[in-house]
């Protein structure tokens, strides 16, 4: 997610006339959040029937993603825990000249004005940032991420957690919640931190993150160590009905982190020498237990089980062990599942780390075993059962020809045609960027999207593959300019991979802004990122919002005032028509796609990027 507050009052912006369009647009735009003008919001999930939509409101930038097992899909050592570490990640993996500001924003947070905080600012005037989470031990914590379904706040652990917890009372306003999926009935699936408990001398949380299904806390596997039982992590990415059972999928802690004696794994400013004091026993008066990490494995929860239904069942084993190379901790997760070609057993996709002198995350598929229904029944009481077989997605190997080609690969979604989508991040600069390429896989064939598929995907582009529906329509965000040395502006897109619908006028890839052109009030929005799409073609997304509308309908129109990031629902209109947006004369074109600057007020802003499954 981009965290944005744009103050444009210093820019002299001329307001141009807005033409009236005779035809209805392919998509209507509706704002669906209740964020204040100092907050940002996105719509993270939409139900299959389109009646339920989940949103996330952020008060400030996120230091490390609240719903990822593996920070930036690369930090297997758990070394990113200071402003300097964030700077080094940016320098070595993003290649910006603006990494000092990029790191400061994620470490210190921002002020209500949108200005990035620094070491001289009181935390009380700053929102978001990793430092605020680390300093919560002394200062307490106020929620940075609030999640809702149709406007109703969902805070499953706000009143407290099950099992082990610190002494004192829980602060319901201190959780960070992310909803990753929502059902037709409005049941939310996602991840939340524990609330902080005030012990009198400090503030402590019971665990860093755990998944939820509705109001149910999803626990690590039974038989885990006392440490994992108490502070182990889980994550829930979605839910599927299969073989007569409800299966929630995600990840769960199965082993302690590698080398907790290493001082580099200690967050800056804690005064701790290492985290080893929490390796064998949990004491909530020991600050090390607030930051202790784990190896998390792909897992499911089967709510129909009568035996420990809230405890995870692990579905795979790490190919090279839970730890390795001294400092590396293995990670894996299930991101999505589908009943392929009418099957009754779900095929699932995600990632798992593999060892190649270092641990690298690789996109994987979890194929159900032949007698899946029997295996799933036996898994209830026999946690050694493996009801899926894990294998890497072919054609995107980390190492090729003896060289490391990709920093990581990850499968993010699968549909009932068996199409798998995901991301492969380049380990080398390509056209000025460590590009994040989108891949589409089916069986043994994997395609990296490029110019031959759509002009959206120019050489060296960065994109996300957020979701694909059963009509082979893929959504996410993609670069809309080709610049070096700073974060590129991006916009939401849709790409039709299979049989091309007549709705798309013979073009497979579109910026969503082209498909909203002409809709009522659409000129107040420019679609920033798409997060989910259902089979109706309706989309959960975020958009830049300009009260009163942009200066024209052009892609690169200006906002005469303040631009906000808001959550939107895009609703497909039967019979709607596409009227591509124009570009103003002073646009700056990118190479490859012929697309202009979408808002000159964004030129100098370092955007916060949130990765979603």
Tens digits of residue pLDDT in 354-398: 999 999 999 999 999 999 999 999 999 999 999 999 999 999 999
Q: What pLDDT score was predicted for residue 23?
A: 64
Contact present, 161 and 217 (Cβ < 8 Å): yes
Instruction: Return all residues near 145 (Cβ < 8 A) that are at least 6 apart.
Output: 56, 57, 58, 62, 66, 176, 177, 178
Q: What pLDDT score was predicted for residue 609?
A: 33
For Cα atoms 460, 462, 463, give the angle at the middle one, nearest 5 degrees: 135
Q: What pLDDT score was predicted for residue 583?
A: 87
Q: What pLDDT score was predicted for residue 613?
A: 36
d(CA 427, CA 408): 8
Measure the N-to-C terminal CA separation of the chain; round to a whole number of Å: 12
Strand partners, 441: 420, 446
Predicted TM-score (pTM) of this structure: 0.93
Task: Give the distance, in angstroms, between the CA of residue 72 and the centroid of all CA atoms in the same chain.
Answer: 10
Q: What pLDDT score was predicted for residue 17?
A: 35
d(CA 480, CA 511): 9
Element holding 228 (H helix, E strand): helix 226-231
**Region of residue 321 (left: phi > 0; alpha: psi -120 to 50; beta: else):** left
Element holding 381 (H helix, E strand): none
Ranges of each domain in the chain: 5-602
Pairing of strands 294-302, 245-256: antiparallel
Q: What pLDDT score was predicted for residue 585?
A: 57
Q: Which residues of the chain have pLDDT under 50?
A: 1-22, 586-613
d(CA 465, CA 519): 25
What confidence tens digit (pLDDT) does each residue in 167-183 have? 999 999 999 999 999 99
d(CA 43, CA 525): 14
Helix (H, G, I), strand (E, B) or coil at 454: coil
Q: How far is CA 55 from CA 149, 151, 179, 189, 370, in A?
A: 6, 8, 7, 12, 38
């Amino acid at each position: 997610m981009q965290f944005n507050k744009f103050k444009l009052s210093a820019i002299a912006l001329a307001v141009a006339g807005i033409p009236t369009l005779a035809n209805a647009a392919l998509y209507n735009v509706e704002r669906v959040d209740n964020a204040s003008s100092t907050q940002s919001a996105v719509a993270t999930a939409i139900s299959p029937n389109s009646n339920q939509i989940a949103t996330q409101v952020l008060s400030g930038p996120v230091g490390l993603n609240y719903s990822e097992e593996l920070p930036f899909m690369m930090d297997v050592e758990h070394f990113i825990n200071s402003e300097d570490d964030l700077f080094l990640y940016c320098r070595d993996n993003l290649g910006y000249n603006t990494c000092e500001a990029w790191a400061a924003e994620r470490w210190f947070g921002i002020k209500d004005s949108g200005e990035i905080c620094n070491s001289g600012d009181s935390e009380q005037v700053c929102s978001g940032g990793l430092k605020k989470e680390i300093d919560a031990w002394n200062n307490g914590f106020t929620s940075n991420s609030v999640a809702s379904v149709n406007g109703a706040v969902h805070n499953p652990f706000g009143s407290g957690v099950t099992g082990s917890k610190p002494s004192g009372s829980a602060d319901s306003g201190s959780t960070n919640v992310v909803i990753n999926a929502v059902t037709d009935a409005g049941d939310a699936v996602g991840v939340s931190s524990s609330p902080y408990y005030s012990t009198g001398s400090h503030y402590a949380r019971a665990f860093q993150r755990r998944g939820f299904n509705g109001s149910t806390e999803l626990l690590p596997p039974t038989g885990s160590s006392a440490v994992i039982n108490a502070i182990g992590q889980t994550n829930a990415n979605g839910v599927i009905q299969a073989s007569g059972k409800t299966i929630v999928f995600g990840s769960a802690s199965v082993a302690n982190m590698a080398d907790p004696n290493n001082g580099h794994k200690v967050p800056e400013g804690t005064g701790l020498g290492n985290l080893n004091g929490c390796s064998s026993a949990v004491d909530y008066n020991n600050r090390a237990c607030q930051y202790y990490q784990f190896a998390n494995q792909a897992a499911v929860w089967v709510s129909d089980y009568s035996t420990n239904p809230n405890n995870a069942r692990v579905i795979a084993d790490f190919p090279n062990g839970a730890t390795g190379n001294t400092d590396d901790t293995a990670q894996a997760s299930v991101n999505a599942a589908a009943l392929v070609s009418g099957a009754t057993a779900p095929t699932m996709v995600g990632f798992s780390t593999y060892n190649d002198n270092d641990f690298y995350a690789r996109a994987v598929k979890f194929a159900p075993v032949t007698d899946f229904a029997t295996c799933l029944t036996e898994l209830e009481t026999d946690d050694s059962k493996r009801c899926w077989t894990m294998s890497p997605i072919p054609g995107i190997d980390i190492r090729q020809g003896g060289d490391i080609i990709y920093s990581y690969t990850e499968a993010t979604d699968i549909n009932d045609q068996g199409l798998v989508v995901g991301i492969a991040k380049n380990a080398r600069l390509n056209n000025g960027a460590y590009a994040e390429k989108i891949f589409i896989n089916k069986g043994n064939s994997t395609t990296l999207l490029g110019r031959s598929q759509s002009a959206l995907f120019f050489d060296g582009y960065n994109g996300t593959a957020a979701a694909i529906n059963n009509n082979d329509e893929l959504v996410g965000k993609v670069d809309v300019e080709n610049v070096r040395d700073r974060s590129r502006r991006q916009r939401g897109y849709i790409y039709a991979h299979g049989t091309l619908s007549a709705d798309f006028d013979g073009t497979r890839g579109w910026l969503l802004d082209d498909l909203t052109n002409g809709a009522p009030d659409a000129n107040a929005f420019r679609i920033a990122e798409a997060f989910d799409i259902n089979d109706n073609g309706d989309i959960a997304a975020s958009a830049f919002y300009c009260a009163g509308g942009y200066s024209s309908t052009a892609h690169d129109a200006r906002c005469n005032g303040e631009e906000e990031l808001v959550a939107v629902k895009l609703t497909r209109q039967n019979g709607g028509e596409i009227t591509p947006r124009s570009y103003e004369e002073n646009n700056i074109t990118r190479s490859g796609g012929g697309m202009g600057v979408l808002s000159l007020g964004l030129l100098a802003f370092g955007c916060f990027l949130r990765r979603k499954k």
